[in-house]
Amino acid sequence: MRRTATTRSLLALYREDPDKADRLLFGRVTHPDRRGFLRNAGLATMAALVGGTIPFHRTMPAHFIPVALADAPLIEGKDGLVVLNDRPLNAETPAHLLDDAITLTERHFIRNNGIPPTGADATTWTFTVDGLVETPLTLGIDDLKRRFDVVTRALTLECAGNGRAFFDPPATGAQWTYGAVACSEWTGVRLADVLKAAGVKSGVVYTAHEGADTHPSGAADQRPISRGVPIAKAMDPNTLLAFAQNGRPIHPMNGAPLRLVIPGWPGSCSQKWLTRVWLRDRVHDGVKMTGTSYRVPGRPLAPGEHLDETDFVIIEAMPVKSLITNPATGDRAAVRASEVRGHAWAGERTVDAVRLSIDFGATWTPAEVDEPVNPHAWQNWRAEIEFPGPGYYEIWARATDSGGMSQPHAIAWNPKGYLNNAMHRVAVTVA
Ligand SMILES: Nc1nc2c(c(=O)[nH]1)N[C@H]1C(S)=C(S)[C@@H](COP(=O)(O)O)O[C@H]1N2
Ligand SMILES: [Mo]
């Protein structure tokens, strides 16, 4: 659906005040169940909004938001994301829209556990470093820019639940398919530099992160999420306190004005709307650090098998994975030399190889794989594929990391649906 600035504001109006939006499009609605006649201009606007003329517009009921609009809530500054949940908002990116080497902000997925703060102001925002430090610090974004080395890095961020939709028995939670992953360019300062300025005391084991979002229930005393990482990961020079995304202020849904970016680990470690980093003498036990949250069975489970929560372990580095961003499932490919391309990434490791199959895994062809532009950036790969003739094909991609681990054919099942790094498969027809 193509949208202009006017259709965008009308869409917003439909969400906030459907009656008023109706009046604008239809004039005064006289009958409670009928919209009446669309004004000429209204008809054109409505048609533009839903993407076509409306033969039965005269019987469109009043007060309803046309489902074409309701099903595609517009997120300001985002483009083409598929909304999985509305409140909290979770939206993923179709694989073919992740084709760029650096993910556009418009296409960076959104994973919210709570309700984001509104009107966050970069000029007055502060965050605190406290706990086991020599000198607790409260710093604004200008302080960060002035006092510390500012760096820009392309960093892969993936939700630990990416691929959850394919679990059987199913796992509850946002039903991510492939698109809860991105590699944007983040600008900020190294968390290590800020922690060193505060003076890390001996005995620090873990960080604890807090953000300004609120619990979906509205309860003021409950946090939506507060995670942390071992101090060594916090001190890694690639762990950033970011205030810019792709050279612009961070998108409000991606944590503006300040967030952590802790690449290679579950996205949940990268606290958005950051207000506090607290250094602790034990493994952090905040919301979504315990039980089965972002934790996986300490031993392999049969699908559906129960395991006591005490036998779960915290997810650390994310496993090797790849994504085919061209072609897209449903595309018609040419017999000769279609470029197949995508990205691959591997937590704390790098990707050594990506292999492709068009015969359901019987034979594999290596793709050309680029070096990462910097540590923790995903690696781009490509290959020319020739199909033997017309018909239905699946393209499978399988990455292998620097430790010799490859993506599996099938998921290692766990109750919360984490770490699904099974091979990405794309279906094309060749004419
Ligand atoms: N404050 C806060 N930080 C958060 C979250 C959240 O709900 N609140 N979600 C986390 C999760 S689970 C993920 S995967 C990443 C997603 O980052 P993104 O929404 O910018 O893509 O943010 C993390 N940081
Ligand atoms: Mo996540």
The rounded Å distance from CA 28 to ligand 2 centre is 46
Q: Which residue lies with its CA nearest to atom 5 of ligand 1?
A: 112
- Is the beta carbon of 109 within 6 A of some atom in ligand 1? yes
Residue whose CA is at the smallest distance from ligand 1 atom 10: 268
Distance 112 CA to ligand 1 centre (A): 5
CA of 275 to the centre of ligand 1 (A): 14
pLDDT at 222: 94
Mutate to test the pocket of ligand 1, among 92, 112, 293 (most ligand atoms within 8 A of CB): 112
**C-alpha span between 29 and 273 (Å, rounded):** 43
- Scanning 251-356, the segments in alpha helix (DSSP H) are none
| Residue 414 beta carbon below 6 angstroms from any ligand 1 atom | no
By alpha-carbon position, which residue is closest to atom 15 of ligand 1? Answer: 267
**What phi and psi, each to the nearest 5 degrees, are found at residue 234?**
-65, -35
Residue 367 CB partners (closer than 8 Å, separation 6+):
340, 341, 353, 354, 355, 356, 381, 382, 383, 397
Q: What is the pLDDT of residue 56?
A: 82
CA of 254 to the centre of ligand 1 (A): 7
88 CA closest ligand 1 atom index: 7
Ligand located closest to 225 CA: 1
Instruction: Give the tens place of pLDDT for each residue, 314-370.
Output: 999 999 999 999 999 988 877 766 899 999 999 999 999 999 999 999 999 999 999
d(CA 392, CA 388): 11
3-state SS, residue 256: coil
| Ligand 1 pocket residue status of 379, Cβ below 6 Å | no
Going by C-alpha positions, the residue among 424, 260, 267 that lies closest to residue 343 is: 424
pLDDT at 2: 39
Cβ of residue 322 lying under 6 Å from some atom of ligand 1:
no
Q: Which two tokens stand for residue 418?
A: 């984490």
Looking at residue 174, its pLDDT comes to 93
Q: Whose CA is nearest to atom 24 of ligand 1?
A: 271
69, 11 contact by CB (below 8 A): yes
Cα three-residue angle 266-267-271, rounded to 5 degrees: 120
Nearest-atom index, ligand 1, CA of 213? 1
pTM of the model: 0.86
Taking 50 as the pLDDT cut, the residues of the chain under it are 1-6
Tell me, in angstroms, the distance from the centre of ligand 1 to residue 267's CA.
6
How far apart are the C-alpha atoms of 403 and 277, rounded to whole Å?
32
Cα of 360 from ligand 1 centre, angstroms? 35
Position 3 scores a pLDDT of: 41
CA angle 48, 79, 99 (to 5 degrees): 130
For tokens 């993923």, the residue is 92
Mutate to test the pocket of ligand 1, among 225, 253, 273, 287 (most ligand atoms within 8 A of CB): 225
Quick one: pLDDT at residue 25?
A: 72
| Closest residue by CA, ligand 1 atom 20 | 254
Characterize the bridge pairing of strands 181-190 and 150-158.
antiparallel
Where are the alpha helices (H) located in 328-385, listed in sequence order? none
| CA 128–ligand 1 middle distance (angstroms) | 19
